[in-house]
Structure 1
Amino acid sequence: MADDASRKRTVRGRKIRSDRSRKESRKAKKALARKASSAGERNGDSPLSDPEEVVPEPFVETDAVQSLRGRITGWLEADQPVHLIGPTGCGKTALALSAAAERGRPVVWLNGDDAVDTAALVGDHAGGERYKEDDRFVGGVTKQTEIVRERWVDNPLSVAVREGATLVYNEFARSDPAAHNVLLSVFEEGVLERPGKRGGDRTVDVHPEFRAIVTSNDVEYAGVHTQQDALLDRFVGVQVDYYDEETEFEIVKAHVDLPDERIERVVDATRALRDELAVIVGTRAAITAAKGVAVFDGQDDDELLAAVFTDVLAPKIAGEGADDVDDLRAEIDESI
C-alpha cells in the first residue's frame, strides 16, 4: 500500500509540474506579445504626437490664415482627405499641422522622398525576439524552452489608421506613386492592407476618426512625381498661395526682432522681387532676409537689402556661374 501511495504521489507531482510548466509557458508567451506590441512606445519610436505639440511655434493667426484653415478643417469634418498644393515657402506645412491640431486627435507626421515605399508606410518585419524559460521544479534537472516570435513593426500609416490619428504627409508628391497604392483601399473601402504581414491581422480596419492631409509643391518643381489619377480623385485640393501683405508682415515679425518699419521694408522688397524675378521668392525667403538685416544692421538700407536678398536667393541659381549671380544682384538692385 505504501508503495502504491508513493507512486500516486509521484504521478500527481509530475502532473502538477507539467501544469505549472504549461502555465508558465503561456505567461511567457503573453509577456512576449505585450513586449513586441509596445516596443515602439517604450523606445520612443511611436509616430503618434499630441496635437498641442505639433503646432508650429510661432504660428500667426490672421483672418487670411483662419479662413484657409477653416476650409481644411471643414473638409476633414466631411471625411475628405485634403491635398494642399502650392509653391515652396508659402506655409503649407505650418498650415497643415495647425489644421491637424485643431481636430484634437493624435497627429502622425510623415515626410515624403524617393526612399518611401509601401513598407515605409505600413510596416515591416523587424527580426525575431527570443525568450527562454527555465523549469527547475526538480532538483538537479533543468528544462529549458525557447520561444521565438517574429516581430512586426507598424509604420506611420498603419498607426494613424488604427489609432484614428490625423496623418500629415509632407512633400507627398516626392514619394514614388507605387508606394501610395495602399491608400486607395484606405480611402475607398476603409481597410488598410499590410503586405508582408501574415495571419488574420494582415488587414486593419480604418478608425472612423482617421483623416489625412498631404502637401506638395506644384508639378513643375524638381523631384516631384505625378501621382496616379485614381488616388488624386479621392482628395479635395486646396490651393495655398502666398499670403496678403498684412499676413506676411505678421509672419516675419513673429520670427525676427526688428522694428516694424524695417520689417515692412523687407516685406515690400519680397513682394516686389516675387513679381520681378524668375526664381521663387517665398515667405520663408522674407524671414531669412529679415534675419540677415538684423545681423548686418547699420549699413545703408537699400545696399543692405540688396546684399541680403542676393545671398538668400543665390542658392536657387547655384551652379550657373558667377555672372548669373551678378545678374541676379543687378535685378534685385533694380527692383528694390
Structure 2
Amino acid sequence: MAEDSSRKRKVRGRKIRSDRSGKASRKAKKELARKASSTGKRNGDSGDSPLEDPREVVPEPFVETDAVRSLRGRITGWLEADQPVHLIGPTGCGKTALALSAAAERGRPVVWLNGDESVDTAALVGDHAGGERYKEDDRFVGGVSKQTEIVRERWVDNPLSVAVREGATLVYNEFSRSDPAAHNVLLSVFEEGVLERPGKRGEDRTIDVHPEFRAIVTSNDVEYAGVHRQQDALLDRFVGVRVDYYDAETEREIVRAHVDLPDEVVETVVETTRTLRDDLEVVVGTRAAITAARGLSVFDDRETEDGTTLDDDLLTTVFTDVLAPKVAGERDGDGDEGDARARDVEELRTSIADAIS
C-alpha cells in the first residue's frame, strides 16, 4: 500500500448502523426457526416442517451487484434445465448466501440441510421414531373382555423425503462434509426420479420425485480439512458452478451492507483483505473482511487532537485477531504446544504487517 496513505486514515462515524440490531435479530429468528423445524421434523413433531417460505430464506443483508446477479442467473438457469447444481469454492466466499438467493428466486418452498459427519441415509430420508402403543378392548361377547395391545411403528420423513415429495428446492450446505455413503440415495433421485427410503416397508417404501424438485449443494474446495471426495457416479449428475471471491467493488458493497463505516475505511479493509489473500498461505475470505470491519468499528475509537485515526498497527492487530484461528497450533512436535501456537500467531502478525506496509 502507498506509504502516504497508510499512516493516518481518517475514520468518521465508526458505528454499526442503528438498524443492525434489528437485522441481526430477524436473522437470528430465521436461523432458529430453520433449525427448530428441521430438528422437530426429525424427532417426529408433526407440528413442524423443514419446508420454508422462499421469501424468508434469503440472508439479510444480501448484496446484489452485476457479478452476483450474473452468477445467480447461471444457477437458476441450470435449475430451470432440471439440473442439480453443485457450488464449489473457497470458504467465506458467499456460496451459502448465493444458494439461498437462487433457491428463493424459484418461488418454491425451500428445504435447508447442513452436512457434517453425523449425516447418514436416515438423516436424509427418514427413520422409525419409536412406536405408538394402544389397546383394543373387545366386548363382543357378553361378560367377556378381551384386551389386545398393539404396537405400531411410527415413521418420520427427514429433509430429502419432504423436498422430493413437495417439489421444494433442497439447499444442502457443506455437502462434501457428509459421508459419501449417505448420498447413494441421491443417485435414483436424479437418474430415475424415485427416492428409496431404506427401512420403510410396504407400498410407500419409495417416493416419486415431484417434477418441481430441485437441488443446490455447496462444497468447499477439496483441499480443505474435513472434506470428503464424493462418488463419481453422483458427481456426474451435477453441474458444477465455481464460486470464487467477488471483484473488489462487490466485496466493498458486501462490507458496507454489514457495517457502517466511511467509504475510505471500507476501501482500506477490502484492499487489505485482497492483499493478504494473495500474500498469505491461509484462506482470507470476504467473511474475514466483514469481521475485520466490525472490529474496526469497535476498537478504533481513540480520540486524538486531529480526530480518530486508523493506522497500520491497528489494522495489523485486527487482521491478526481475525486470522489467528487459522494458524494457531498447525505445527506438530515443535517443542511446547503453547509456544508453537504463540510463534505461529507472531509469524502471522509479521506477515500481515509486511503486507500492509
Question: What is the TM-score with the length of structure 2 in the denominator?
Answer: 0.80
Amino acid at match of 1:181: N
Residue 132 of structure 1 and its aligned partner are, at CA, apart by 3.7
Residue 195 of structure 1 and its aligned partner are, at CA, apart by 0.6
Could you list the runs of 5+ residues in structure 1 that have no partner in the other structure? 1-35
Higher helix share: 1
Q: Residue 314 of structure 2 is aligned with which of 275, 295, 304?
A: 304
Amino acid at match of 1:314: A
Amino acid at match of 1:325: V
Query: How far, CA to CA, are the matches of 1:179 and 1:289 in structure 2?
Result: 37
Query: Residue 335 of structure 1 corresponds to which residue in structure 2?
Result: 355
Give % identity: 84
Could you list the runs of 5+ residues in structure 2 that have no partner in the other structure? 1-40, 303-309, 331-339
Q: Does 1:41 align with 2:46?
A: yes
What whole-Å deviation, never above 9, does each CA across 1:100-156 have from its counterpart, x for those lacking one? 011111111111111111111111111111234567899998665544321001111
Q: Residue 59 of structure 2 is aligned with which of 49, 52, 56?
A: 56
Give 3-state SS (helix, strand or coil) of 1:151's partner: strand
Greater gyration radius: 1
Query: Residue 33 of structure 1 corresponds to which residue in structure 2?
Result: none
Q: Residue 253 of structure 1 is aligned with which of 245, 252, 256?
A: 256
Query: Residue 239 of structure 2 corresponds to which residue in structure 1?
Result: 236
What whole-Å deviation, never above 9, does each CA across 1:275-307 have from its counterpart, x for those lacking one? 111110000000000000001013542111100
- Map 1:150-299; keep pairs closer than 5 Å: 150-298=153-301
Give 3-state SS (helix, strand or coil) of 1:127's partner: strand
Give 3-state SS (helix, strand or coil) of 1:61's partner: coil
The Cα RMSD (Å) is 2.0
Residue 40 of structure 1 and its aligned partner are, at CA, apart by 3.4
Distance 1:135 1:301, change over 3 A: farther
Give 3-state SS (helix, strand or coil) of 1:97's partner: helix
What is the number of residues matched between the two proteins?
298
Query: How far, CA to CA, are the matches of 2:228 and 2:116 in structure 1?
Result: 10
Query: How far, CA to CA, are the matches of 1:80 and 1:244 in structure 2?
Result: 27
Query: Residue 119 of structure 2 corresponds to which residue in structure 1?
Result: 116
Query: How far, CA to CA, are the matches of 1:233 and 1:138 in structure 2?
Result: 65
Query: How far, CA to CA, are the matches of 1:82 and 1:102 in structure 2?
Result: 14
Give 3-state SS (helix, strand or coil) of 1:214's partner: strand
Query: How far, CA to CA, are the matches of 1:284 and 1:51 in structure 2?
Result: 24
Query: How far, CA to CA, are the matches of 1:140 and 1:242 in structure 2?
Result: 80
Give the conservation status (yes or no) of the 8 Å contact 2:44–2:129. no
Query: Residue 126 of structure 1 corresponds to which residue in structure 2?
Result: 129
Query: How far, CA to CA, are the matches of 1:290 and 1:331 in structure 2?
Result: 20
Query: How far, CA to CA, are the matches of 1:190 and 1:329 in structure 2?
Result: 53
Query: How far, CA to CA, are the matches of 2:186 and 2:288 in structure 1?
Result: 34
Q: Does 1:80 align with 2:100?
A: no
Query: Residue 8 of structure 1 corresponds to which residue in structure 2?
Result: none
Residue 324 of structure 1 and its aligned partner are, at CA, apart by 2.0
Query: How far, CA to CA, are the matches of 1:92 and 1:64 in structure 2?
Result: 13
